[in-house]
Amino acid sequence: MNFFKEHSKNFFDKLIQTINNQNVRFKNRSKSESDMENLKSQVFRIFLLFFLILALISTLLQVNLYFITGNTLKEQLGNKCLGVAISVATLLEQDTDSFRGYLETLDTSSDYYLRIKADMEKIRFGNRDNLAFLYVERRVSETEMMYVLDGEYADTDTFAPPGAIEPMTPTRARCYDTGKPFVGDFVTTVWGTLLSAYVPVHDRNTGELLAIVGADVSIGQYDSVMRNQWIAMLINALVFTVLALIVLLISSTTIEKKLFTDSLTGVYNRGFFFSFLRAQLKAIKQKDYPVILFMADLDHFKQINDTYGHPFGDKVLSNVSAIMNAHMRKTDCLARYGGEEFAGIMPGLNMEQASEVIQRIHDAVGAAPVSDEEGSVRIHRRRAVEPARVHQQRDQKSGHGSLRSEEDEERGHIRPLQWKIKANRYTNSKPKD
């Protein structure tokens, strides 16, 4: 019994010294939450921050991919328009004499006009999914252009009859000035918002610029493809978010368990014990908040390991810790302090309530032998002393807080619950000492 008292006293003396040293170190930190769930959620908050950063990076990548896709799509549509315009320009350059004659008269009843008009309609509506308009025009001044051929049906509202005048646009002017093919960007006109490609028609004999062929794609065709891309991006983001949240929850729970719990017994570990105790000390400073601290130790535990093996000793520790934890609240903290030592914190209980809880733990541990194929070990309780209520006392000189026992302040230490446990091995025949 003297050994246990000395052992218990040393434990609480070391505990007091550790906490008082940590109070000095943590005195400039921001206010900590005293609630256990807030303390345990620190790991989850770290993972949540990691998830938000990952989600932000993923969103930026998705948005960047969306704009890259948009630019790529515009380039593809422009190239398709350019290809169609080149084919029409090549058709016109095969018979530049007839084309010159038509430009002078704009005779819509001539065989040349009817033949070229039919070819352009066939090309235009053969590419209706990629093409909005197909036409041939010539410049009449620095500020105006005139339609000479149109691939639309003559009886539609979108048909531009030969001789129709429109203002000159910068994209057209560039093609006229350079005499080279050019693809512009989306521009709003009287015909809608269009992306246009222009190809010059030259006289093969003289090299003179006779006209330009225009091919347009509408913003609606572009938007329909980008809308599908946007929906696909949202679905990908949703799937990523759901999967990331699942991984986040699983990972945070797993890591939280590894960080905060003892792998053998499943109760909290020493690190979490001190973190939880610091939070309770801060709560004590703020208001009159009772906190009960106790210690339990399994005597003669080395004898169990030496006699029956370490695996059976591990089983004894697991069973005892499970019984103790089952009789404590979710808001309490039971931790394996080291080896066969356990330490517990019970916030909000007075001395009488805590003594009742600990007595129930004693009775339950004594009534539950640990068994295997060869026999069993029964844990015998020797004696229980009242637990200690913890509160802060501030030193007038240093201003630092320290732990004091409510009943024994003048001695400057916590009066612990002393739990003397003897373990005997019982077989199916007779007990062994």
Question: How much of the chain, in percent, has pLDDT values that exceed 90?
Answer: 24
Q: How confident is the model at residue 104 (pLDDT cuts 50, 70, 90)?
A: very high
Tell me the CATH architecture of domain 57-226: 2-Layer Sandwich (3.30)
- Quick: pLDDT tens for 246-272: 777 776 666 666 778 888 888 888 888
d(CA 426, CA 403): 42
Q: Collapsing DSSP states into helix, strand and coil, what is residue 208?
A: coil
d(CA 261, CA 335): 8
Q: Collapsing DSSP states into helix, strand and coil, what is residue 2?
A: helix
pLDDT of residue 98: 93
Neighbour order of strands in the sheet with 333-338: 333-338, 341-347, 291-297, 388-394, 401-405
Pair 7, 258: CB distance under 8 Å = no
Of 3, 26, 84, the residue nearest 281 (C-alpha)? 26
Q: Where are the beta strands (DSSP E) in 219-369?
A: 291-297, 333-338, 341-347
Q: Give the DSSP letter of residue 32.
A: P
Hey, what amino acid is at 121? E
- Quick: pLDDT tens for 121-167: 999 998 888 789 999 999 999 999 999 999 999 999 999 999 999 99
- The CB-based long-range contact list for 297-300 (8 Å cut-off, 24+ gap) reads 297/4, 297/7, 297/8, 297/11, 297/340, 297/341, 297/342, 297/419, 297/421, 298/340, 298/379, 298/421, 298/423, 299/4, 299/382, 299/420, 299/421, 299/422, 299/423, 300/422, 300/423
- Pull the structure tokens for residue 124: 């235009």
User: What average pLDDT is seen over the chain?
Assistant: 76
pLDDT of residue 121: 94
The partner residues of 334 in beta bridges, in order of sequence, read 344
- Quick: pLDDT tens for 407-420: 433 332 333 333 33
Cβ neighbours for 430, distance < 8 A, ≥ 6 positions apart? none
Q: Give the DSSP letter of residue 156.
A: S
Higher pLDDT, 119 or 294: 119
Of 168, 216, 215, 174, the residue nearest 192 (C-alpha)? 216
Sign of the alpha-carbon dihedral angle for 7, 10, 14, 15: positive
pLDDT at position 309 over 80: yes
Compute and round to an integer the Cα radius of gyration of the chain: 43
Residue 50: what are its φ and ψ, rounded to 5°? -60, -40
**Of 137-151, 164-178, 285-299, the least confident:** 285-299
Q: How confident is the model at residue 192 (pLDDT cuts 50, 70, 90)?
A: confident
| CATH (one of 3.40.50.2300, 3.30.70.270, 3.40.50.720, 3.40.50.300) for 2-30+262-432 | 3.30.70.270
pLDDT of residue 275: 84
pLDDT of residue 110: 94
pLDDT of residue 27: 39
- Pull the structure tokens for residue 189: 């006109």
**Of 3-7, 96-100, 344-348, the least confident:** 3-7
Domains 2-30+262-432 and 57-226 share a fold: no
Cβ neighbours for 155, distance < 8 A, ≥ 6 positions apart? none
In angstroms, how far is the first alpha carbon of the chain from the final one? 18
Q: Count helices and strands (H / E) in the chain.
A: 10, 15
d(CA 376, CA 145): 104
pLDDT of residue 349: 85
Residue 279: what are its φ and ψ, rounded to 5°? -65, -40
pLDDT of residue 432: 40
pLDDT of residue 164: 94
Hey, what amino acid is at 12? F
Please state the rounded mean pLDDT for residues 8-32: 47
Residue 335: what are its φ and ψ, rounded to 5°? -130, 145
pLDDT of residue 43: 62
pLDDT of residue 99: 93
pLDDT at position 193 over 80: yes
pLDDT of residue 252: 63
Best mean pLDDT range from 152-156, 238-242, 385-389: 152-156
Please state the rounded mean pLDDT for residues 210-224: 89
Query: Which DSSP helix (H) or strand (E) runs through 419?
Result: strand 419-426
Best mean pLDDT range from 277-286, 339-348, 367-376: 339-348
- Quick: pLDDT tens for 39-94: 556 666 776 777 778 778 878 888 888 888 888 888 888 899 999 999 999 999 99
Q: How confident is the model at residue 11 (pLDDT cuts 50, 70, 90)?
A: low
pLDDT of residue 415: 31
pLDDT at position 404 over 70: no
Higher pLDDT, 394 or 362: 362
pLDDT at position 393 over 80: no
Q: Where are the domains of the chain?
A: 2-30+262-432, 57-226
pLDDT of residue 37: 54
The partner residues of 323 in beta bridges, in order of sequence, read none
